[in-house]
Homo-oligomer: A and B are copies of this chain.
Amino acid sequence: MTMTTLDGVDVVVHDAAAAQPAAARASRDERARWLRAVADGLDAARDELVAVAMRETHLPQPRLEGEVARTTGQLRLFADVILEGSFLEAIIDHADPTAAPPRPDLRRWLVPVGTVAVYAASNFPFAFSVAGGDTASALAAGCSVVVKAHPGHEVTSRRTAEVVSGALRAASAPDGVFGLVEGFDAGVALVEHPAVDAGAFTGSLRGGRALADRAAARPRPIPFYGELGSLNPVVVTHAADARRGSELAAGFAGSFTLGVGQFCTKPGIVFVPTGSRLAEALPDAVGREAMPMLTEGIASGYTAGTARLGAVEGVSALVEPAGPGGPGVFRVSAEGFVASHEVLTEEVFGPATLLVTYDDERALHVALAVLPGSLTATIHSEDDDDRGALVGVLSAKAGRVLFSGWPTGVAVTWSQHHGGPWPATNTQHTSVGATAVRRFLRPLAYQDAPPDVLPAELRDDSTVPRRVDGVLVPGR
């Protein structure tokens, strides 16, 4: 494995920090052009990148081709987002000399935070990696980016970085605005580097927490956006199970084994009525084949995690994993779950899931109360179910609440929220969708500024969506 030396990290960070003011000064048109150039470059290199990634991650070709499309789609969405301009949150309040006290002319917008360290994830070698959503949203914001590559796909990372750098150069982006470092020590040095202004991470709770703690303990603390771990609870009501239990079993089996269960939105815990049709149908719906996992570390972690689950008192295996990467289905009563919830709510990364069987609403709610925060929570119910209390509890536990679907598959849209109460994420922001750009911006207000000093977006002839003297004005 290649490691960037600490001197090497220093050079990359200083180049990025030196490039950042120029990136910030660039117009939104220019930055949109950079993002689209990167997207075009990745599309052009798709076949080569996918071939490398297949060797490194054992993920199948269609999945990886789809992921490149998702990645370039993200870059183009952020280009649209910055051209549209609402993300600047522009607010103009004209002076009011008659107010008590008199009010000055005050104009606020958002400006880039500076240089961002992006920690790539193992499980999305494109969409949450070198040119993934964090990189795209930080560049869109006008930040410079230093990516810490994931060791699970280092050649893919390096080759992607070459494509990104080449495209940015060809599009006349400032030299050094994007860089790559490799190795564990480089990752630690990055979050502690005085010239780094924010961090973004997708990965394990342990790794993310360690980096977040370092970010908070710096002489100058910096924001650190971690997407850390998620159980993604699913609740199936008596009525839904009675009417479509076996259909749900098929959908569920597809969701928790998708991508060998290596998704942050994998449904890891499912609350079903005792004696459910779903549980009865599930073993037949789940394949038995062990599938290759992303890395050896992840495979051995999966083996250890499923062994840990299976060893808990009251837990039985409905489907015993046939080795690392083999689907595993475990079952426990709601009472048994509550008794051992500290162990049973630790995420097992991979195609394992836990059925929690409940007799009645009361037992269900007692069990839901001990759940930690998640990215998603899913409800399978019927229209005549009284689901108010369920929606209330799960809304408090998750960032996205789904109805009659499965949480894998995260649409990249204006409205998406990929985040949730601890430990799903450690901040009130999303890492997927248009609003992810907010993480890398800070407000700046100008008071009584001469018009020549103001950015075009804050002048009286601004064309971006803005609030003027309290009233929303759509963009031109």
- Residues of A that sit less than 8 Å from B by CB: 21, 66, 69, 84, 86, 89, 91-93, 100-101, 103-104, 106-108, 111, 113, 212-213, 216-217, 220-223, 383, 387, 391-392, 395-396, 398-405, 409, 411, 413-417, 419, 421-423, 426-430, 435, 441-450, 453, 465, 467, 470, 472, 474-475
Residues B450 and A400 in contact, CB atoms below 8 Å apart = no
Residues B392 and A21 in contact, CB atoms below 8 Å apart = yes
Residues A449 and B403 in contact, CB atoms below 8 Å apart = yes
Shortest CB distance A76–B (Å): 13
Residues A91 and B402 in contact, CB atoms below 8 Å apart = no
List chain B residues, Cβ under 8 A from A414: 91, 93, 467, 470
List chain B residues, Cβ under 8 A from A399: 442-445
Residues B474 and A400 in contact, CB atoms below 8 Å apart = no
Cα–Cα distance between A475 and B86 once the two chains are bound (Å): 16
Residues A445 and B416 in contact, CB atoms below 8 Å apart = yes
List chain B residues, Cβ under 8 A from A474: 472, 474
> From A86, which residue of chain B is reached at the shortest CB distance?
B472
Shortest CB distance A171–B (Å): 23
Residues A401 and B104 in contact, CB atoms below 8 Å apart = no
Residues B91 and A400 in contact, CB atoms below 8 Å apart = no
Query: Besides the contacts A398-B444, A403-B446, what 6 more A-B pairs have beta carbons closer than 8 Å?
Result: A89-B435, A91-B435, A103-B413, A216-B217, A405-B447, A415-B445
Cα–Cα distance between A449 and B404 once the two chains are bound (Å): 8
Known: A103-B411, A399-B444, A401-B444. A213 touches B223 (CB 8 A): no
